[in-house]
């Protein structure tokens, strides 16, 4: 099976702009989770989608949003970019059928976002 | 407060030795714990999962133990090789629908295996 893919791999934006990142999960996986990774804070959970519904959300401002399509592909959007949004954005897919806790998650290679 | 801590930021060992990495957590009741490997600029790669009712799991040269009384997991790499050099992350999965799809990660331990 093909792994999790993320596009683009690298992105440079300026403050105030917005950005959309894309994630294609492993075939058959219905859950997609997004994480932000920075040297200072490590990996932090942004949100999770299952069957086109957001099931869980982390502690990030409303500028961070996402959605999931019927084929389980997911996008996340960051509006009004700030310098502190520079990070590696990772998505992870899982079967997600449990509903009571998290299945094993398989990560994509990430999108490196630099905000100037 | 809730915390998940990995023993040190960096661990240097000689090739052929056993590397032991520690993950401690406070005020969590995890359903299970996972270990991931991450190379620079890449996404984490899943290695092993151990459930709350399991004491030990093995996979080739890797071994994980889980002590829910001590609130600690140990991750061992036996006969270590320079190719094992990477950052290793532990992650907790919690019960409850409010924790669905969410893993809580430690800061990671960077392992350097010298030839």
Read off the pLDDT of residues B13-52 as tens digits, 9 standing for 90 and up: 999 999 999 999 988 888 889 999 999 989 999 999 998 8
String of DSSP letters for B78-90: SS--GGG-EEEEE
Mean pLDDT of A31-55: 94
Q: What is the DSSP letter of A70?
A: T
Read off the pLDDT of residues A50-99 as tens digits, 9 standing for 90 and up: 999 999 999 999 999 999 999 999 999 999 999 999 999 999 999 876 55
Task: Please answer yes or no on whether A105 and B94 come within 8 Å at the CB atom.
Answer: no
| CA A88 – CA A111 distance, rounded (Å) | 6
- C-beta of residue A9 within 8 angstroms of C-beta of residue A108: no
Mean pLDDT of chain A: 93
Per-residue pLDDT, A102: 63
Read off the pLDDT of residues B44-85 as tens digits, 9 standing for 90 and up: 999 999 988 899 999 999 999 999 899 999 999 999 999 999
Alpha-carbon torsion, ordered A98, A103, A109, A113, to 10 deg:
70
Q: Which residues of chain B does A47 touch, with a Cβ-Cβ cutoff of 8 Å? A: 101
Burial class (CB in 10 A: 0-12, 13-18, 19+), B38: buried
Best A90, A102, A109, A114 residue to mutate vs chain B (most B CBs within 10 Å): A102
Per-residue pLDDT, A101: 56
Q: Which residues of chain B does A108 touch, with a Cβ-Cβ cutoff of 8 Å? A: 43
Residue A30 in contact with partner chain B when CB distance is under 8 A: no
Residue B98 in contact with partner chain A when CB distance is under 8 A: yes
Residue A25 in contact with partner chain B when CB distance is under 8 A: no
| CB-nearest partner of B108 from A42, A90, A102 | A42
- What is the 3 state secondary structure string of B58-71? EECCEEEEEECCCC
Mean pLDDT of A26-46: 94
Q: Which residues of chain A does B31 touch, with a Cβ-Cβ cutoff of 8 Å? A: 101-102
Is the pLDDT at A100 greater than 70? The verdict is: no
- Tell me how many residue pairs between chain A and chain B have CB atoms under 8 A apart: 88
Is the pLDDT at A104 greater than 90? The verdict is: no
Task: Please answer yes or no on whether A48 and B101 come within 8 Å at the CB atom.
Answer: yes
């Amino acid at each position: 099976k093909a792994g999790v893919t993320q596009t683009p791999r690298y992105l440079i934006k300026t403050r105030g702009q917005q950005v959309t990142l894309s994630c294609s999960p492993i075939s058959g996986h219905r859950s997609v989770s997004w994480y932000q990774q920075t040297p200072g804070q490590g990996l932090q959970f942004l949100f999770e989608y299952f069957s086109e519904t957001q099931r869980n959300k982390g502690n990030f401002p409303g500028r961070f949003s996402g959605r999931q399509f019927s084929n389980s592909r997911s996008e996340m959007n960051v509006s009004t970019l700030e310098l502190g949004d520079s990070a590696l954005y990772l998505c992870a897919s899982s079967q997600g059928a449990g509903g009571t806790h998290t299945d094993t998650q398989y990560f994509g290679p990430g999108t490196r976002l630099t905000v100037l | 407060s809730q915390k998940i801590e990995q023993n040190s930021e960096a661990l240097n060992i000689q090739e052929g030795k056993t590397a032991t990495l520690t993950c401690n957590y406070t005020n969590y009741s995890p359903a299970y714990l996972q270990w991931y490997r991450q190379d620079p600029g890449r996404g984490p790669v899943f290695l092993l999962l151990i459930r709350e009712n399991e004491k030990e799991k093995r996979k080739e040269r890797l071994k994980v133990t889980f002590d829910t009384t001590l609130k600690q997991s140990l991750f061992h790499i036996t006969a270590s090789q320079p190719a094992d050099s990477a950052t290793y992350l532990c992650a907790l999965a919690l019960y409850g629908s409010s924790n669905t799809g969410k893993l809580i990660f430690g800061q990671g331990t960077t392992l350097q295996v010298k030839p």
